[in-house]
Structure formats: C-alpha cells, structure tokens
Amino acid sequence: MKILEKVLILGTGSAAIQIAVNLKNNLECSVGIAGRISARSQAFFAELFENNHKLCAYVQNKEHHLMSGECVIDHAFVGYDAVNGEWDTMIVSVTNDAYISVLKQMDTGILRCVKCIVLVSPTIGSHRIVSHFLQQSGCTAEVVSLSTYYAATKGENSAIEVLTKGVKKKIYLGSTSKNSDAARQLIDWLRTLGIAAELTRDPFVAESRNISIYVHSPIFMNEYALNYIFGEDGTLKYAYKFYPEGPITQYVIHDLLMQWEEITGILNGFNVERFNLLQFMNDDNYPVRTESLSREDIENFTSFSAIKQEYLLYIRYASLLIDPFSIPDANGRYFDFSAVPIQKVYQNEAGYWCVPRVPNEDYYRLKILQGLARNLALGTPTIDKMINLYEQKLSLFALMHRDSLLSDDFALKSLDEELTFVCYED
C-alpha cells in the first residue's frame, strides 16, 4: 500500500514548506498544504496564490544540496475546515500542543479516509493522544511519530521561501501499527535526502529521541531565563552560554540530569529502556572533540555517579561554547556556536502578547510528562519545580498586563483531554 501518493501537509511554517519541496521533488506525489487563518498565514497564502502555488527552499551549506529546490504544490486550503478531497497521508507540521485543536477543525469524513498521519515534532505520548482522538472520531489511520523535524529551517526573503541551515544526522520513527509499511516508505524517502532513519519498536521510543525534551526546559525554565523572557531587560542573553551571559550554571546542569532521570522513570513505565543521554547528545546531535570528552566517558555515562555525570555534561556545554569543528579566523576565533539569543515575549500583528515557542511548547511537554508520571504514581520534583516557576512568571506577567491583549499562551494548562487520551490503556 503506497501512502505517499496524495499527501496533505498541515501547517504553513518553515518546516512545512521544506517538507513540501522535498516530497514534491523526490517523490513527484500530489501535495497539498492547509493552514489556520491568521495574520501570518494570510501573508503565506497571498504570496502562494500570487506565485501560482510555488514554494522555494534554499540551503546554507552545499553539503545539504539535497534539501534545496522549488516546487509547485497541487492544492492549498485556507483554514483546516476548508480541506476537501481524499488524502493517503496527512503530515502534521504544527507545534505538538496544537495537534488536537487542528484535527478537531477538520471534517471527520475526510479524516476517516486517511491511511496514515505523520507527526513531525511530537512529544512523549503524542502518538497516543492523536491515535485515541482519531479512534473517537471513527478514524482508523496509522499514526507515525518522527523523533523530531529533520532539519533546522527558517523563513527567508518571503513567506514562501525558506533557508535550511542544518540537517539532522539521524531520525527515529515509531508507528502504532506493527510491521509498518508506511514507516518503511517514510524511511526510504528520508534516505533520499541523505538522512539516516531507524524504525523503533514503539512510538514512545521514537518520541523520546528528541534532544529538546531534555535540554530546553532546564535551560529556558529557570529563574534567570524566565526573568529575561518575561522581563523588561533589553540586553541580549544567550541560551547556551554560561552565567552571566546566559543561564547555564552548575544548578541548571543538575536539573538537566535530574529531569532526565525522571523522564527515564516515566519511559520505563512504557517499557522503554534507559538510554545514554550523553551519547545521544554527542552522537545523534552535536559532537565535541575527543580531547574534551573521551569516548570511554561518553559510552560509560550511565554507569557513573550523579556527580560525575553532571561534571561530564558541564564539560560538554563548555566545549560547545564555540563550534569545535569550525575553522578559526585569523585571530584564532572559532564560530560562536552558543550565541543563540533567548527570545522574549512579544506582541503579534493583532497586538496580542505571546510567549515564544521556546518555552511555551516546553511547558506543554512538561505538563504531559507530569500527567504521565502521576498516572504511573511517580514523583517528579524537578519537573514540578520548573512547571511551578513557569506558571508563576506567566501569571505575574498576565497580572501586570491585565489591561493589554493576551494570547492563549498565558492561560495555565490543565490538558485534561490530552491526558485522558495519553493515559488511556488500549
């Protein structure tokens, strides 16, 4: 059964555009894009229609040339409720906290005809949330989770152009269907892009192989980072720099390790084996030189004491203040790899205050993890601490700006529906 002949992409962001170009050029399938009605998507659809459905993807580095190209998509739908026709596969390229709200806007008759739904950037448990929602709607589609989006892509000169700055070395996939032919077809497609792909035995395994789950919340949901995100200090702060230029301290590293332990306990409840965090960071994401971290220390990370594990993680972040594999300039300076600015709260085109995707999406991830832990009767003091601090800062900002327009980002999340789906036993 071919599942990549008629593909609908849900979302109009940079990742959606890159995916559309790759699908159209590598598989020559019928591709459609649907997006919500908003000021940003209005600009996208206006340019798309003006340019006869053309999309463009550029790359920053020549070695990623397989990602570049342009294409003409076959269908475009302004609003998810406007989607019509029959689709083999829907690729959901929106933030993972929006999966259910997006699917709810679609005609159930269309959903019931879909064979496969692919989650591009899920969190732990997303496949269960989506699968059980679909079952409730009478849809029997297979759900495939990718570990994460396969590139680092941003908008370029216009709403229909993107620039890809980096490509993941490896992507993991997990399916709700055993012996998934759909997952194998997706793996074959990813390999045409030069990306290694591995099918895991379970979607929980694939969803757990996203570095953001382990890194973002300790780095962005601490006192230093949140005071900057929600405060009035206009001096740039950098996510991956050490205090005082950025949030990284011995305490952040401690929380990173403790959160990994808590997530490991949750995953164990779903029969996911403990994995080596440092090796995953190094081998599947950003490596450091062996002069900084020995191979022996990386491979034996899980066997060490907590204090040595913290020490090795601290070394890793210190070693990535610069890109250790970049070419130094005439002054011996390497590329400033850690100079990633922390984004502050902002007002959108309609004047509403919004929280940046990081940490807004990480708040959702932590609430799902907290709910899973409680269902398994597990304690999560580190996760609880980060959620409580984030909600305090969120509420304080909302109180201080009570006379301003506030987006839904400032609503405290209960996630009752999602947690019912994710904790439901098949």
Catalytic residues, by residue number, are 216
Q: Which helix (H) or strand (E) holds 153?
A: strand 151-155
Distance CA 44, CA 84 (A): 20
| Greatest distance between any 2 Cα atoms in the chain | 64
Q: Which helix (H) or strand (E) holds 142?
A: strand 142-146
Distance CA 370, CA 52 (A): 46
The number of helices, as runs of H, and strands, as runs of E, in the chain is 16, 14
Say which residues have a Cβ less than 8 Å from residue 137's Cβ, sequence separation at least 6.
103, 108, 111, 112
Residue of 378, 338, 353, 98 whose CA lies nearest to 219 = 338
Distances from the Cα of 315 to the Cα of 250, 276, 319, angstroms = 11, 16, 6
Chain-centroid distance, C-alpha 118: 13
Distance CA 109, CA 234 (A): 50
Distance CA 399, CA 49 (A): 42
**Residue type for position 28:** E
Q: Which helix (H) or strand (E) holds 91?
A: strand 89-92
